[in-house]
């Protein structure tokens, strides 16, 4: 099995599941048991200030759009995930990922962001996308997804509305020109 970890999944135009329509998903983990990822281009109407208020965190710095809250996927939408470049500071619950990234699920990283001592770049997601064993491989084989390596630019810098097209452009593809019909030769 080849792993899709640290890859971006670009939803093909024919994606029938409304939770994944025109999404770009960062694959956090992919093993023989299944896969877990975070959708990176579906901002929520909830602001980071609202999230801080809900968690009783008082920001001490001005919070900007670099720390927007996204819908990470349809599973456990009340659980938060912070994807960020790895730092020397240890957080209570972090998973070290390839290419110098970390995913943290503990409140301490959000408290640090609120005081200006946390990661300078972060993607804050509520919920995640999950696949059972063999499911993601089958969906890729059925042309539901294109895959491309993740870049920090796509994860943290490209505006949300542009990420679907920008991820496909890494492959030299204009997704707006793709057919909604898939086939196999």
pLDDT of 42 reads 96
Record the pTM. Answer: 0.91
pLDDT of 7 reads 95
pLDDT of 65 reads 53
pLDDT of 170 reads 94
Residue 43, SS3 per DSSP? strand
The CA distance from 161 to 103, in Å, is 23
**pLDDT per residue of the chain (185 residues) written in tens, 0 to 9:** 578 999 999 999 988 889 999 999 999 999 999 999 999 999 998 888 889 989 999 888 777 655 679 999 999 999 999 999 988 788 899 889 888 899 999 999 999 999 988 998 999 999 999 999 999 999 999 999 999 999 999 999 999 999 999 999 999 998 878 765 555 55
Place of tokens 């939770």: 19
Yes or no: say if 7 and 146 are a contact pair by the CB < 8 Å rule.
no
CATH class of 7-177: alpha beta
Q: Which residues contact 162 (CB under 8 A, 6 or more apart)?
A: none
The CA distance from 125 to 138, in Å, is 26
What is the helix, strand, coil percentage profile of the chain, to 5? 30, 30, 40
Query: Could you give the angle at the alpha carbon of 101 between the alpha carbons of 138 and 73, nearest 5°?
Result: 45
Domain range summary for the chain, segments of one domain joined by +: 7-177
pLDDT of 99 reads 83
């Amino acid at each position: 099995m080849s792993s899709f970890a640290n890859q971006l999944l670009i939803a093909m135009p024919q994606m029938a599941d409304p939770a994944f329509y025109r999404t770009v998903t960062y694959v956090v983990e992919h093993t023989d048991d299944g896969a877990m990822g975070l959708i990176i281009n579906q901002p929520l109407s909830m602001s980071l200030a609202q999230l801080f208020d809900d968690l009783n965190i008082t920001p001490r710095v001005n919070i900007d759009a670099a720390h927007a809250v996204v819908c990470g996927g349809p599973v456990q939408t009340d659980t938060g995930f912070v994807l960020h470049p790895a730092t020397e500071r240890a957080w209570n619950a972090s998973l070290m990922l390839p290419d110098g990234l970390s995913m943290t699920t503990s409140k301490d990283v959000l408290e640090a962001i609120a005081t200006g001592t946390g990661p300078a770049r972060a993607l804050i997601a509520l919920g995640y996308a999950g696949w059972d064993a063999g499911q993601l491989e089958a969906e890729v084989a059925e042309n539901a997804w294109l895959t491309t390596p993740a870049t920090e630019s796509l994860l943290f810098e490209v505006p949300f509305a542009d990420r679907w097209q920008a991820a496909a452009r890494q492959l030299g593809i204009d997704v707006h020109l793709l057919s909604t019909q898939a086939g196999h030769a």
